[in-house]
């Protein structure tokens, strides 16, 4: 179990570094769609608050403001 925890922490750190790279390059919003974690969630990170994602779950509608104004997607469509 310890190896899984260590791997998860390393993966989280790697993803945070990638998000920082994207934001530094001018990206406004980064979606993290968790298809392997079993949670079926979308975490939406924004450049103005990169440490606090908005979390969308099944039954909800995710958005990509301010990068794509008005665009929406039902979370269920990502996991079906």
> So what's the pLDDT on residue 79?
86
Given a cut of 70, is residue 4 above it in pLDDT? no
Confidence of residue 1 (pLDDT cuts 50, 70, 90): very low
Provide the domain limits for residue 50. Answer: 2-79
Mean pLDDT of 32-47: 89
Mean pLDDT of 11-21: 93
- Count structural domains, the chain: 1
Provide the whole-model pTM. 0.85
Q: In the structure encoding, which two tokens stand for residue 67, read together?
A: 């990068």
- The three state secondary structure string of the chain is CHHHHHHHHHHHHHHHHHHHHHHHCCCCEEEEEECCCCCCEEEEEECCEEEEEEEEECCCEEECCCCCCCCEEECHHHHC
């Amino acid at each position: 179990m310890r190896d899984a925890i260590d791997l998860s922490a390393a993966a989280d750190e790697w993803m945070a570094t990638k998000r920082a790279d994207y934001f530094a390059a001018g990206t406004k919003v980064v979606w993290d769609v968790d298809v392997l974690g079993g949670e079926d969630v979308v975490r939406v990170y924004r450049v103005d608050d990169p440490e606090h994602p908005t979390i969308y779950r099944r039954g909800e509608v995710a958005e990509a403001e301010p990068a794509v104004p008005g665009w929406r997607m039902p979370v269920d469509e990502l996991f079906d």
